[in-house]
Structure 1
Amino acid sequence: MRNFFTILGGMGTIATESLARQLNHRIKITKDQDYLNYVLVNDAQVPDRTAYIKDHSKPNFFINLREDVLQQAQLGPDFFIMPCNTAHYFYDDLAGLTDVPFLHMMRIAVHRFVEEYPNEQKIGVIATEGSIYDHLYVDEITAVGRQAELGGPEIQPMVTELIYTNIKQKGVVDAELYHSILRKMHDEYGCNVILLGCTELSLAQEKAPDHPYKVIDPQSIIADVAIELELKIRVGMDPKEAVKKYLY
Structure 2
Amino acid sequence: MENFFSILGGMGTQATESFVRLLNHRTVTHKDQDYLNYVLFNHATVPDRTAYILDSTAENPLPFLLDDIAKQNLLKPNFIVLTCNTAHYFFETLQAATEIPILHMPREAAIEMSRRQKGGKVAFLGTEGSVKAGVYQRELEKVGFEVMLPESKLQQKVNDLIYRDIKENDFLNKELYYEILAEAIEECGCASAVLGCTELSLMEEFATDNPYNVVDAQSILVDRTIERALADRKKS
Q: TM-score, normalised on structure 2?
A: 0.97
Identity value in percent? 47
Give the C-alpha shift of residue 210 in structure 1.
Answer: 1.2
Cα distance in 2 for residues equivalent to 1:67 and 1:152: 36
Cα distance in 2 for residues equivalent to 1:143 and 1:125: 15
Q: What residue is the counterpart of 2:173 in the other structure?
A: 174
Q: What is the 5 A alignment of 1:12-27?
A: 12-27=12-27
184-193 or 155-164, which deviates more: 184-193
Cα distance in 1 for residues equivalent to 2:231 and 2:162: 35
Give the C-alpha shift of residue 151 in structure 1.
Answer: 3.5
Cα distance in 2 for residues equivalent to 1:117 and 1:199: 22
Give the C-alpha shift of residue 209 in structure 1.
Answer: 2.9
Does the CA contact (< 8 Å) of 2:120 and 2:191 recur in 1?
A: no
Q: What residue is the counterpart of 1:206 in the other structure?
A: 205
1:144 matched to 2:158? The reply is: no
Q: What residue is the counterpart of 1:224 in the other structure?
A: 223
Give the C-alpha shift of residue 137 in structure 1.
Answer: 1.5
Deviation sequence 1:116-148 (CA, Å, 0-9, x none)? 212x31111111011112222112222223111
Q: What is the 5 A alignment of 1:82-231?
A: 82-118=82-118, 120-231=119-230
Q: What residue is the counterpart of 1:244 in the other structure?
A: none
Cα distance in 1 for residues equivalent to 2:133 and 2:103: 20
Give the C-alpha shift of residue 103 in structure 1.
Answer: 1.0
Cα distance in 2 for residues equivalent to 1:46 and 1:222: 21
Cα distance in 2 for residues equivalent to 1:164 and 1:22: 22
Which blocks of at least 5 consecutive residues in structure 2 are unaligned?
Answer: none
Which blocks of at least 5 consecutive residues in structure 1 are unaligned?
Answer: 238-248
Give the C-alpha shift of residue 211 in structure 1.
Answer: 1.6
Give the C-alpha shift of residue 150 in structure 1.
Answer: 1.6
**Counterpart residue type for residue 140 of structure 2:** I
Cα distance in 1 for residues equivalent to 2:103 and 2:24: 19
Does the CA contact (< 8 Å) of 1:79 and 1:100 recur in 2?
A: yes
Cα distance in 2 for residues equivalent to 1:81 and 1:183: 31
Q: TM-score, normalised on structure 1?
A: 0.93
Q: What residue is the counterpart of 2:78 in the other structure?
A: 78
Cα distance in 1 for residues equivalent to 2:87 and 2:172: 22
Does the CA contact (< 8 Å) of 1:151 and 1:189 recur in 2?
A: no
**Counterpart residue type for residue 96 of structure 2:** G
Cα distance in 2 for residues equivalent to 1:91 and 1:209: 32
Cα distance in 1 for residues equivalent to 2:151 and 2:190: 13
Output the aligned Cα RMSD: 1.1
Give the C-alpha shift of residue 222 in structure 1.
Answer: 0.6
Give the C-alpha shift of residue 115 in structure 1.
Answer: 1.5
Which portions of structure 1, spanning 4 or more consecutive aligned residues, are displaced by more than 6 angstroms?
A: none
What's the secondary structure of 1:8's corresponding residue? strand
Cα distance in 2 for residues equivalent to 1:53 and 1:147: 24
178-187 or 135-144, which deviates more: 135-144
Q: What residue is the counterpart of 1:246 in the other structure?
A: none
Cα distance in 1 for residues equivalent to 2:200 and 2:18: 11
139-148 or 56-65, which deviates more: 139-148
**Counterpart residue type for residue 195 of structure 1:** V
Does the CA contact (< 8 Å) of 2:51 and 2:58 recur in 1?
A: yes
Cα distance in 2 for residues equivalent to 1:26 and 1:105: 18
Give the C-alpha shift of residue 191 in structure 1.
Answer: 1.4
What's the secondary structure of 2:152's corresponding residue? coil
Cα distance in 2 for residues equivalent to 1:106 and 1:72: 22
